[in-house]
């Protein structure tokens, strides 16, 4: 385990509109507002055709191939994530969401394929006095948090 401490900074209350891309919108806001590190919480709806990463094809494979699960129709979502500088120094969102419709739920990573259905509400809590960054892990290819 590695860890560090941080202090709370600004709090942003955000509403995404119909069709906006979740990850791109949050990362764009973070860059324009100078948010380097943050805790993120989301809730709302995602549109059909959105794609959620629901795991690797094989859990211990040398090359990790993500399972891209398309959302067949609108789903309600709730999720939590973090923003830390990525390998290029820009704010990088890592967000997992639970998606539900009727009696079915899936959970996964909300990368660039998640589109808002009418509205997604986002709360971003800026983290200050912290040096955490995302560093590419050669074994997995993941950008892992170095706190």
The model's pLDDT over 40-99, given as tens digits with 9 standing for 90+, comes to 999 999 999 999 999 999 988 878 899 999 999 999 999 999 999 998 899 999 999 999
User: How far apart are the C-alpha atoms of 111 and 101, rounded to whole Å?
Assistant: 20
Walk me through the domains of the chain, giving residue ranges and CATH numbers.
7-146 (3.30.1330.80)
Write the pLDDT tens digit of every residue in 25-34: 999 999 999 9
Q: If you write DSSP's letter for every residue of 91-130 in order, what string do you get?
A: EEEEEEEEEEETTEEEEEE--TT-BEEEEEEEEEEEEES-
Q: What pTM did the predictor assign?
A: 0.94
What pLDDT does residue 139 have? 82
Parallel/antiparallel/unpaired status of strands 91-101 and 104-109: antiparallel
How many CB atoms sit inside 10 A of residue 103's CB? 5
Instruction: Please write the tens of the pLDDT for every residue from 123-141.
Output: 999 999 999 999 998 888 8
């Amino acid at each position: 385990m590695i860890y560090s401490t941080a202090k709370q900074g600004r709090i942003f209350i955000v509403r995404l509109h119909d069709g906006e891309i979740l990850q791109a919108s949050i990362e764009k806001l973070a860059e324009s507002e100078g948010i380097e590190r943050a805790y993120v919480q989301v809730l709302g709806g995602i549109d059909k055709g959105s794609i959620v990463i629901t795991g690797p094809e094989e859990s211990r494979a040398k090359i990790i191939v993500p399972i891209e699960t398309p959302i067949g129709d609108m789903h309600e979502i709730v999720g939590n994530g973090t923003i830390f500088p990525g390998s290029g120094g820009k704010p990088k969102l890592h967000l997992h969401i639970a998606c539900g419709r009727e009696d079915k739920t899936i959970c996964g990573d909300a990368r660039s394929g998640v589109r808002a259905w009418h509205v997604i509400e986002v709360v971003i809590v800026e983290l200050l006095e912290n040096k955490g960054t995302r560093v590419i892990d050669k074994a997995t290819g993941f950008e892992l948090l170095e706190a």
